[in-house]
């Protein structure tokens, strides 16, 4: 009963609050920046939507991950960047406005790309008989969990800016608390197998994390995107929305497989350390 309440009630509510916090920091102008930074946004989205799933797929095969863990890692690759990327980008002297734009646009795109990538991963790693159809109801569920709270937050920001300012800090704190609780619940649920899972997917999650940041930083630099924007893209792509992946994997109305949440939980712990090291490295290069 306790686990059912966590997966059916707590996780969607937690994710909704986190997405509400993101919405409180967004305005229509953030989406309009696609026009201002078309090249940087296009390269960032190409890295996120096209390159990363291929890299993740290769790593899952290279490390010989168990089917459920492989699908969980692919689910993480398909998840958009998290709001935490904005903070790390700011500390590393990246272009935070570009971060916000990428988060906003990619959150919308993920409604289409995430089901496609997860469905392919299910079919490849778990066999055709395990394949899940792209059900309209599941797309609507993801839409309700992710975009509706963001839209509510944006509406509050647009109509009651003072209220949004007052809510911003408490909601951020609450979001951080929920992030810890969501990760903890995923770990507790699989605590009996945690050591085995960490041994099985820990190195793969670390490799994917490092690859994400390097792809996000080096590919834009190869296309002569300025350093501040490349830092922003690196953080945006390296800091995935692990909470979204955990919620989708664990929710009884979505994938309903706690094992698939393990890669995102481990990744969410690793990325804070690697993002700090990456930020220090690129900030030193900037200096």
Stretches where the chain sits below pLDDT 70 are: 1-12, 14-15, 22, 30-31, 33-34, 82-83, 87, 128-147, 175-176, 178-197, 252-253, 286-287
What is the pLDDT at residue 1?
A: 34
Measured CA to CA, the distance from residue 216 to residue 213 in angstroms comes to 5
What is the pLDDT at residue 4?
A: 46
Report the phi/psi class of residue 93: left, alpha or beta, with left for phi > 0 and alpha for psi in -120 to 50: left
Locate the domains of the chain by residue range. 2-282
What is the pLDDT at residue 60?
A: 92
Q: Would you identify the CATH topology of the domain 2-282?
A: Na+/H+ antiporter like fold (1.20.1530)
What is the pLDDT at residue 204?
A: 92
Interval 143-156: pLDDT, tens: 566 667 878 888 88
Measured CA to CA, the distance from residue 274 to residue 287 in angstroms comes to 20
What is the pLDDT at residue 198?
A: 72
Contact 8, 256 (CB under 8 A): no
Give bridge partners of residue 240 from the DSSP assignment. 81
What is the pLDDT at residue 2?
A: 41
Q: Of 232, 237, 227, which Cα lies nearest the Cα of 106?
A: 237
Q: 142 is written with which tokens?
A: 């993801």
Measured CA to CA, the distance from residue 262 to residue 87 in angstroms comes to 25
What is the pLDDT at residue 3?
A: 45
CA distances from 61 to 67, 69, 199, 211, 262 (A): 10, 11, 16, 15, 17
For the chain, the first-to-last Cα distance in angstroms comes to 54
DSSP summary character for residue 79: S
Give bridge partners of residue 81 from the DSSP assignment. 240
Interval 186-235: pLDDT, tens: 566 656 666 666 777 889 999 999 999 999 999 999 998 888 889 889 99
Measured CA to CA, the distance from residue 81 to residue 237 in angstroms comes to 6
CA distances from 272 to 85, 87, 117, 280 (A): 10, 11, 25, 12
* Residue 184: φ, ψ to 5°: -65, -40
């Amino acid at each position: 009963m306790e686990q059912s309440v966590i997966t059916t009630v707590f996780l969607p509510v937690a994710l909704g609050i986190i997405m509400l916090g993101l919405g409180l920091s967004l305005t229509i102008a953030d989406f309009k920046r696609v026009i201002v930074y078309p090249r940087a946004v296009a390269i960032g989205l190409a890295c996120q939507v096209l390159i990363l799933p291929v890299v993740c797929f290769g790593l899952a095969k290279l490390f010989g991950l168990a089917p459920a863990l492989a699908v969980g890692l692919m689910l993480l690759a398909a998840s958009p960047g998290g709001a935490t990327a904005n903070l790390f980008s700011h500390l590393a002297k990246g272009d935070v406005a570009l971060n916000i734009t990428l988060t906003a646009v990619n959150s919308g795109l993920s409604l289409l790309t995430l089901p496609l990538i997860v469905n392919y991963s299910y079919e490849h790693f778990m066999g055709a008989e395990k394949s899940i159809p792209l059900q309209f109801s599941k797309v609507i569920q993801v839409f309700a969990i992710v975009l509706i709270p963001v839209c509510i937050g944006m509406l509050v920001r647009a109509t009651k800016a003072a209220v949004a300012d007052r809510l911003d800090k408490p909601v951020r704190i609450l979001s951080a608390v929920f992030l810890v609780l969501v990760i903890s619940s995923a770990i507790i649920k699989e605590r009996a197998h945690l050591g085995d899972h960490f041994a099985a997917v820990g190195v793969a999650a670390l490799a994917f994390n490092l690859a994400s940041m390097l792809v996000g930083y080096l590919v834009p630099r190869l296309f002569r995107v300025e350093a501040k924007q490349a830092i922003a893209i690196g953080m945006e792509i390296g800091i995935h929305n692990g909470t979204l992946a955990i919620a989708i994997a664990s929710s009884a109305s979505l994938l309903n497989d706690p094992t698939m949440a393990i890669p995102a939980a481990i990744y969410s712990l690793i990325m804070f350390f690697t993002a700090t090291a990456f930020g220090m490295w690129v900030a030193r290069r900037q200096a």
